[in-house]
Structure 1
Amino acid sequence: MHYLNISFSHKNSTMEVREKLSYKDEQSKMGCLTKLNSSPAINESILISTCNRMEVFCSCSDVAEATQHIFNMLTARSGISIDELEGRASIFDDSSAIHHVFSVASSLDSMVVGETQIAGQLKDAFRFSYDKGFCGQKLARAMHHAFKCAAKVRNATDISSKPVSIASVAVSKLKSVLESVEGKKALVIGVGEMSEITAKHLVSSGADVYIMNRTSSKAKKLAEECGVKTLDMCELPKAVNDFEILFTATSATEPIITDEIIQSCDFDRFWFDMALPRDINYHKGERINLYVIDDLKNIVDENMTLREDSARKAHGIVGRSTVEFFEWLNTLNIEPMIKEIYQKAFEAARVETQRVINKGFIPREYEEQIAKMSEQVMKRFLHEMTSKMRSVSEESKADMVTSALQFLIQKDKSDMPDKYKCEHALNIIEGQ
């Protein structure tokens, strides 16, 4: 069994590519996971689809076959050629896949290093796949350790001491292009986490904030929490031409702001589209300053510089956690191997006891005593050996030891990866 992760993120793909690869609703996610697990090479899978990334994390029996199946599936969905997808994708297997997932959970792979939103998105993706039966014990083990690793990073560093998200970076961008937002009317469309963060940042900056959403009850609830006002969704055509500031982050599958409702205005407008697929698609309209997710990279770079020391320490924690995860898997696997060794030894003792009795070397009335003595000899002989086997399972060379033991006892199947590559994970630590 192998771990495999194929990742498209802000690091290797444009927003247009990520839009075509995104899975927004439950039905499309179900369809994706069903197709993933239809491959004979894939036994468990998780789909992570956010505004900044689309990733497939799976356990598989054959990395090459599983990778080809995933690319075939994605090119059929997106219309993007396999050559382009393969050129853009980051592909991780076994220990590098675990290291990557741990990094994502710890917010080290995010556009805004240290933002807390990704941990919740990752948990939601895992819970969805697990509850729907698309993943089980193999990926559950990895995900549980990923969340433990993320907790270690939060507790040992100050990388998330001042939570930063795409939404807060967007507000920071607004402040950098306006002298002040105090007293200015701002419209926030959507009621998700990014909309909530945006509204709260705008309120704290003194803006006059309005919430708009297709479901008015949800808009009113968020407005009450933030202490702001609401507008009905039917007022959108008027609002886009009245408000100077607009943030949108909905789950709509098609743009909600298009040329048909945009009019020329005698003031500058500042629009922030934080949705994927995008909420805004226009080709006309002067004095409109549109910022999308990829436009926030300058602030993100500044954020990474400020958090460089914490990030370096966090990367070390992720590297060590990766090694510890595979050591833990080794421990899980060593016990059944030890049990099988004892079973083989006791069977050999039983056969030899019967042989010497049948040959008349020992009277049959002593059979029970001879059997007990033979088993005790085997236990005494194996005790020191099995103790060393358990202790070596905590070392990076455990993969070599377990492979040798599997060969010696002819154990053909194992419920863990064939290649742990702990040496690679150790190199990651030493390189931080």
Structure 2
Amino acid sequence: MHYLTISFTHKNTDIKIREKLSFADETKKTNFMCTLQKSPFINETIILSTCNRVEIICSVSECSESIEYIFTKLSELSHFPKEDLEERADVYEDNGAIHHLFSVASSLDSLVIGETQIVGQLKDAFKFSVDNGFCGQKLGRAMHHTFRCAANVRASTDISKNPISVSSVAVSKAKELLGSLENIEVVVVGAGEMSRLAVQHALTSGAKVTIVNRNLENAQKLADEINSCVSVAPYSKLSDFINKYQVIFSATGAPHSVITNDMIEDVSFKRYFFDIAVPRDIEIDENDKISVYAVDDLEEIVTANLALREQQAKIAYSIVGNSTVEFFKWLQTLSVDPIIKQLRDKAKECSLKEIERAIKKGNLPLEYKENVEKILHYAFNSFLHHPTKTLKEVAEKPEADTIVQSIQEVFDINEDVTKRINMYKCEYQMGMMEKNNEI
């Protein structure tokens, strides 16, 4: 079994392609995951799709065949040439796949280093796969350790102190452009998590906020949760609001544009549209009175943020490196074959000791030693036959980890697993040296 991740992010793929690869629509995601399951090499799948990334996370029996199949199907889905997708994507296998997954969850690979949304997005992606039968024991193990690693990073560093997000960066950009948002009328289109954050940061900046959403009940619920001063409006009023107010943030998660040229009227004031959705919500022409900022346009302010958090990121990467090493060490201890072998070896060792003791005490003639050893060997094999069969049967089930660890504890089996001396171990050691030097 191998871990495999194919990654399209803001670092390697522009927004025009990312939105074609986006799986914001659950039906589209389900259909594509069903397609992947048809491959004889792909066993489990999780798809993480956000405004900044699309990650295809799999457990596979063979990497090269799986990679070829995934790129072929992504090309058919997106209508982009397979070669172009292969050139852009980052492909991670085994240790690399787990290290990347841990880094993503720890927000070290995010457009906004230290942002806190990514863990929730990963949990949603994991739950979706589990609920729909695309995720089992192998990816389940990886994801539980992923969340543990991310929690460790947050607890051990200040990387998420004063947390920021794409939404907060968009609001900061609006403040930079206008000088201040104090008493500025702001429209937020959508009522999801990105919209929630945009509303919160706009309010903190002194803006007056109106939420426009297809489902007015959801908009009102969001407004009530955040601040009683937030207004809501039905989606039918969207055209009126985008031609009335100066600042518009849009994050609907719709599979198509929601603000288009035919909705735009000529007005006397300058308007700023912030499209923080993927696929993009806004498809309008820019001119001297209209500026549009998409996710990829916010990188300059993110770069400044990165410099501030760089030192904390080094410590975080050391934690990720160590967590990667420890995960594979732990995986090795869960294989049932070594457990079965050690159970048999332990039984053999105990029986031979007792035979030697019996011979020394004169309770067993030496000439009977070989026959007694054979009898005990057959007896233990017979005794361990059913446990061996049961262990092999449960090996692929989620409860196998608990069973194996219980057997190790009950029978005092401590497998000596050699640590992997690899780039991740080195990364951990280097990070710890830097941390100690700071102290």
**TM-score, normalising length: structure 1:** 0.84
Asked if residue 137 in structure 1 is aligned to residue 137 in structure 2, the reply is yes
Q: Where do residues 65-214 of structure 1 align in structure 2 (5 Å cutoff)? A: 65-214=65-214
**Distance (whole Å) between structure 2 residues aligned to residue 341 and residue 219 of structure 1:** 60
The Cα shift of 1:253 comes to 1.3
Change (3 A) 1:60 1:232: same
What is the Cα-based RMSD across aligned positions, in Å?
2.8
Aligned residue among 268, 271, 286 for 2:270: 268
Asked if residue 321 in structure 1 is aligned to residue 330 in structure 2, the reply is no
**Distance (whole Å) between structure 1 residues aligned to residue 289 and residue 6 of structure 2:** 40
Alpha-carbon contact 1:264-1:285 (below 8 Å) kept = no
Deviation per CA, 1:225-268: give whole Å up to 9, x if none. Answer: 23211112111111111011110100211111111110111111
Partner of 1:57: 57
**Distance (whole Å) between structure 1 residues aligned to residue 342 and residue 316 of structure 2:** 41
Partner of 1:300: 302
Deviation per CA, 1:375-401: give whole Å up to 9, x if none. Answer: 99xxxxxxxxxx9994521x315xxxx
Deviation per CA, 1:287-310: give whole Å up to 9, x if none. Answer: 111111001101111111000111
Alpha-carbon contact 2:286-2:292 (below 8 Å) kept = no
Partner of 1:419: none
**Distance (whole Å) between structure 2 residues aligned to residue 123 and residue 135 of structure 1:** 12
SS at 1:299's partner residue? Answer: helix
Q: Which runs of 5+ in 2 are unaligned?
A: 356-365, 381-410, 432-439
Partner of 1:396: 419
Deviation per CA, 1:191-213: give whole Å up to 9, x if none. Answer: 01111111111111111111110
Partner of 2:423: 424
Residue identity opposite 1:95 in structure 2: N
The Cα shift of 1:345 comes to 8.9
SS at 1:283's partner residue? Answer: coil
Asked if residue 337 in structure 1 is aligned to residue 338 in structure 2, the reply is yes
Change (3 A) 1:341 1:245: closer
Residue identity opposite 2:146 in structure 1: A
Alpha-carbon contact 2:59-2:139 (below 8 Å) kept = yes
**Distance (whole Å) between structure 1 residues aligned to residue 70 and residue 374 of structure 2:** 59
Which deviates the most, 281-290 or 7-16? 281-290
SS at 1:307's partner residue? Answer: helix
SS at 1:392's partner residue? Answer: coil
Change (3 A) 1:253 1:338: closer
Aligned residue among 243, 246, 261 for 1:241: 243
Alpha-carbon contact 1:182-1:205 (below 8 Å) kept = yes
Change (3 A) 1:266 1:312: same
The Cα shift of 1:425 comes to 2.1
Partner of 2:45: 45
The Cα shift of 1:362 comes to 5.8
Residue identity opposite 1:278 in structure 2: R
**Distance (whole Å) between structure 2 residues aligned to residue 216 and residue 342 of structure 1:** 63
Stretches of 4+ aligned residues off by more than 6 angstroms: 344-350, 366-370, 373-376
SS at 1:277's partner residue? Answer: coil
Alpha-carbon contact 1:105-1:150 (below 8 Å) kept = yes
**Distance (whole Å) between structure 2 residues aligned to residue 284 and residue 177 of structure 1:** 16
Deviation per CA, 1:125-144: give whole Å up to 9, x if none. Answer: 01110111111000000000
**TM-score, normalising length: structure 2:** 0.83
**Distance (whole Å) between structure 2 residues aligned to residue 370 and residue 90 of structure 1:** 56
**Distance (whole Å) between structure 1 residues aligned to residue 88 and residue 207 of structure 2:** 40
Alpha-carbon contact 1:213-1:232 (below 8 Å) kept = yes
**Distance (whole Å) between structure 2 residues aligned to residue 292 and residue 429 of structure 1:** 36
Residue identity opposite 1:195 in structure 2: S
Deviation per CA, 1:22-70: give whole Å up to 9, x if none. Answer: 1112111111111111110111111111111001110111100000000
The Cα shift of 1:332 comes to 1.2
Residue identity opposite 2:69 in structure 1: H
Give the number of aligned pairs: 387
The Cα shift of 1:369 comes to 9.0
SS at 1:255's partner residue? Answer: coil
The Cα shift of 1:368 comes to 6.7
Deviation per CA, 1:370-428: give whole Å up to 9, x if none. Answer: 8459999xxxxxxxxxx9994521x315xxxxxxxxxxxxxxxxxxxxxxxx5232233
Residue identity opposite 2:115 in structure 1: E
Change (3 A) 1:347 1:243: same
**Distance (whole Å) between structure 2 residues aligned to residue 34 and residue 171 of structure 1:** 39
**Distance (whole Å) between structure 1 residues aligned to residue 287 and residue 267 of structure 2:** 8
The Cα shift of 1:82 comes to 1.2
